[in-house]
Amino acid sequence: MSSELQQTGATLPLQVGAPVAIPPLVDRLVSAHGAQWLDSDDVAAWAAEGGDRIIFLVGDPVRFPEALDVAVVLPELLARFPQRFRVGVARREHEDAIARRYGSIRWPALVFVRDGGYVTTLSGMLDWEVFVERVASALDMPTSRAPIALRNGNADASCH
């Protein structure tokens, strides 16, 4: 386990029952940058509260280390686009259900929603200029139907 994961005392239970440490960079999104923890029961209501919102599907940072990079970039995007969107972080034990709801099959992912409707998803880590360009584009896109997440039952979630 990385030392960064060991530095936090916060944990979230996984579906398999073993608790997992919340990486400090992800925890800081909630504690210092106004993000909200989301679960599969409240994500629809949160998304429907109005305006542009981003759901951060972190995944396991050991398997998907770029998740921590995205956690660093999100506060910078909030500063770059002030008052344009709010951020929610999917709880680990609810990520799969939330990902299925919005058709996401890669981690980490930023799922854009507006007024309860799906807009688009940005997956993985991007160069800063590309991130800014794609976020600006997403904030201008109309809502649409979420894609259907198709997965091979035997495939690892990292396959794409």
Residue 70 within any structural domain of the chain: yes
Q: What's the domain range around 109?
A: 25-140
CATH number of the domain enclosing 88: 3.40.30.10
Structural domain total, the chain: 1
pLDDT at 22 over 60: yes
Q: Residue 148: what pLDDT?
A: 80
CB atoms within 10 A of CB 114: 19
Q: Say how far apart CA 156 and CA 131 lie, in whole Å.
A: 26
- For the ranges 6-10, 68-72, 141-145, 147-151, which has the lowest average pLDDT? 6-10
Residue 30 within any structural domain of the chain: yes
Residue 9 within any structural domain of the chain: no
pLDDT at 8 over 80: no
Q: Is the pTM of this model over 0.75?
A: yes
Q: Locate tokens 């998304």: which residue?
A: 47
The stretch 83-101 carries a mean pLDDT of: 95
Residue 75 within any structural domain of the chain: yes
Residue 101 within any structural domain of the chain: yes
Q: At what angle do helices 66-80 and 24-31 cross, to 10 degrees?
A: 30
- In three-state secondary structure terms, 139 is helix
> With contact defined as beta carbons under 8 Å apart, do 70 and 103 qualify?
no
Q: Residue 19: what pLDDT?
A: 58
The stretch 4-18 carries a mean pLDDT of: 41
Residue 150 within any structural domain of the chain: no
Residue 57 within any structural domain of the chain: yes
pLDDT band at 152 (very low <50, low <70, confident <90, very high): low
- Kindly report, residue by residue over 27-85, the tens digit of the pLDDT: 999 999 999 999 999 999 999 999 999 999 999 999 999 999 999 999 999 999 999 99
Q: Residue 43: what pLDDT?
A: 97
> With contact defined as beta carbons under 8 Å apart, do 47 and 53 qualify?
yes
Residue 115 within any structural domain of the chain: yes
- Kindly report, residue by residue over 116-139, the tens digit of the pLDDT: 999 999 999 999 999 999 999 999
